[in-house]
Chains A and B, each alone.
Chain A
C-alpha cells in the first residue's frame, strides 16, 4: 500500500467545537493508526486475517471502553472522545473499528450498565487492557432485523442455567474469551449471559469467504447444552431493551466511524485528482470530478456536525435511540456513496490494494447492514415521526 499521506478535512473548522483533550485523544489515535494500522492493513485484509498484534495498541490508545469509569479500568472520557477514537480507527479500517466497537459498546457497556459489582470487577479491567476480548451474540440465523423472535434459550437447572441455540454474524467470535449472549428464559424474557470460552458445549466456528471486513474475524456462537453459572447472568436489566441499549452505544460509535472511512476516501481521491493527468491537465480540473469532490466534502461536513451534536446530546444523556438511528443511517450511507464515487475517480487504480478506497467500500457494505440495516433505521425514524409502526 502507498504511504499514508492522510490529512483530515475540517471544512467548517469543527475543531473549534472540540476541547483540547478531545483533540489530544483524537490526534493520538490518528498517529497510532498511521503508524500501526496503515502499513499492515491491506495485507491482513487481503489474507482475511485479524492482526492480533494490534490488540495491546488498541487498548493503549483507549479504544476499549474509553467512557467506562477509571475505577473499572476505563479512561472515564466523554462520548465525543469515544466517537473521535472510533472515527480515527475506521479511517484505518472498518473491521478494526468493529473489533473496538464490539469490545466497548457490546461487551463492556452491558457489563458496566447491567452487571453487578462482582461482574464489573472481574471483567471490565481485563477487557479495557485487552487481556480479555469479548463478542456479542444477538443475531441468529433466522432472526436478524427481528431479534425478539430469537430461539436461543436457557433453562434454570437449580445450580446453573442450561443454554441452547446459535448466534450468527458475530464479530470477534473466533478469538473472543467471553461472549455476551442474549437468550430467552423459560417465560420468554430476554436476558444477557456471560459465556466463557472453554465452557463445555460452547463453540465458535469462523465465517469464511467474506468480501467485507476481511481484517476482522467473524463467526458463529453455538451453544449445545452449555452449563452457565448463575452468577454469569446480567442482573440489572432484561427484555429486548437491554441489548438495544448496547446497540445505541455501538451505533453512535459507528456514526462517527463512518466519517473516518469517508474522510480517507475523500482525501485519497482529492490528492489523486490533483496528480493524475488526462488530456493535459489534472483530472481535478474537470467539472465532473469537482462535482464529486464538492459533494463529498459537503456531505462529510454535514455528517461531522450531526455526529458532534449527537455526542453533545449523549454527554447530556438526552440522545434518543431514534436520533442515534438517524446518524448511523445517514453517516454510513454518506460514507458508502463517497467510497463509490472516490473509487470511480481513481479509475483502474481504485480497484487495487495500492489505495484504501475499495477496501473501505467493501467494508461499508457490512457497516450499512449490521447494527440495524439501512432500511430498518429508516423505519425507526418513520415510527418516531409518525407514531405508526411499519415494521410488521
Chain B
C-alpha cells in the first residue's frame, strides 16, 4: 500500500495572530509553526499501517521552503519520504490541484489528510482532491481499517457514527479518533538522525491560476467588560439591553 499524507504547516495554537500589508496577509513574524493537528492524527495512523501492515508513507506539502521543518518533523516521526510542491498555498482549490498531480505521479492508493487545517479552516482540500481524482472520499473519519483493496471507515455524523465499506483508491479527511492524542508521536533522536538522510524532493507546481484572492482579514472584536445586574432588577437589565446594547 502506498500512502500519501497531506501535511499543512500551520501556526501553533498559542500564536499571537496579526496581519500585515493592510490586513491582507498573515504576519508570520515570531510565529511558531507546527504540523496541522488534524494531519498529525492521520500521519500517526499512517505510521500504524506502515508498521503493522506494511506500507510506504510519503508526506506532501504545498508551500515554500520555510515549510520544510514541518516535513522534516514528519520524516523524523517515521515517514519514508517527503515532497514539497514549491508554491504558496493560495487557496484550497489550488492546493487540491497541486496535490492531485502528486497523487497521479506517485500512484498512491490511500491519501490521508486532516479534515481541515487550523489556520484558515477551509476544510475543502480533501473533498476537492477526491473530486479531481475521481477517488472515493470519506470525511470526518474517526476510524480506518484497510484489508487488501477494501477499507472499513467510521465517520462522525451528527449525534453518532457511521461505519461504511469502500474501496481504494481512497481519500480520507481525518480527525481525532482515527488515533487518540496519547498515540501521537514525539520524534525520538533516532528518528531525527534518520530524517537527515531521507529524501525531501521539491517539485514545481503545475501551472494554474488561483481562483480566489484574500482581500482582507479581521480579528474578532475584543470581548467587552461584563456587567452583572441583580436578579431583582429586571428593569435595569431591560434598560441596558435596549438602550446600551441595543439588542432588544
Q: Which residues of B contact A (CB under 8 A)?
A: 14, 29-30, 32, 68-69, 72-73, 76, 186-190, 192-193, 195-196
Contact of B69 among A23, A60, A70, A76 (CB under 8 A): A23
Q: Give the top 5 A-B pairs by smallest Cβ distance, nearest first.
A: A62-B189, A60-B188, A20-B69, A31-B186, A75-B189
The B interface, classified by DSSP as helix, strand, loop or mixed, is: helix
Q: Is A156 an interface position by the 8 A CB rule?
A: no
Most A C-beta atoms less than 10 A away, residue of B29, B68, B188, B189: B189
Q: A7-B14, A20-B72, A24-B73 are in contact. Are A60 and B190 (CB under 8 A)?
A: yes
Q: Is A176 an interface position by the 8 A CB rule?
A: no
Whether the Cβ atoms of A21 and B186 lie closer than 8 Å is no
Contact of B192 among A10, A31, A62 (CB under 8 A): A62
Chain B minimum-CB-distance residue to A33: B186
Most B C-beta atoms less than 10 A away, residue of A28, A60, A75: A28
Q: Using Cβ atoms and an 8 Å threshold, which residues of chain A touch B188?
A: 28, 60-62
Contact of A25 among B30, B32, B68, B192 (CB under 8 A): B192
Contact of B189 among A20, A35, A66 (CB under 8 A): A66
Q: A7-B14, A13-B30 are in contact. Are A24 and B190 (CB under 8 A)?
A: no
Q: Using Cβ atoms and an 8 Å threshold, which residues of chain B touch A62?
A: 188-189, 192
Chain B minimum-CB-distance residue to A75: B189
Q: A20-B68, A24-B72 are in contact. Are A76 and B193 (CB under 8 A)?
A: yes
Q: A10-B30, A20-B72, A24-B72 are in contact. Are A32 and B186 (CB under 8 A)?
A: yes
- How far apart are B105's CB and chain A's nearest CB, in angstroms? 26
Q: Using Cβ atoms and an 8 Å threshold, which residues of chain A touch B69?
A: 20, 23-24
Chain A minimum-CB-distance residue to B189: A62
Q: Using Cβ atoms and an 8 Å threshold, which residues of chain B touch A27?
A: 73
- How far apart are B125's CB and chain A's nearest CB, in angstroms? 25
Chain B minimum-CB-distance residue to A66: B189
Chain B minimum-CB-distance residue to A5: B14
Report 27 cross-chain contacts, Cβ distance below 8 Å, ordered by A residue.
A7-B14, A13-B29, A13-B30, A15-B32, A21-B72, A21-B192, A23-B69, A24-B69, A24-B72, A24-B73, A28-B76, A28-B187, A28-B189, A28-B192, A31-B186, A32-B186, A35-B186, A60-B188, A60-B189, A61-B189, A62-B188, A62-B192, A66-B189, A70-B193, A75-B189, A75-B192, A76-B193
Whether the Cβ atoms of B186 and A24 lie closer than 8 Å is no
Q: A13-B30, A20-B69 are in contact. Are A75 and B193 (CB under 8 A)?
A: yes
* Interface 0/1 of A1-29, CB less than 8 Å to B: 00000010010010100001101110110
Q: Using Cβ atoms and an 8 Å threshold, which residues of chain B touch A75?
A: 189, 192-193
Q: Using Cβ atoms and an 8 Å threshold, which residues of chain A touch B76?
A: 24, 28
- How far apart are A328's CB and chain B's nearest CB, in angstroms? 25
- How far apart are B64's CB and chain A's nearest CB, in angstroms? 14
Q: Using Cβ atoms and an 8 Å threshold, which residues of chain B touch A70?
A: 193
List which A14-68 residues lie within 8 A (CB) of chain B: 15, 20-21, 23-25, 27-28, 31-32, 35, 60-62, 66
CA of A117 to CA of B196 in the docked complex: distance in angstroms? 27
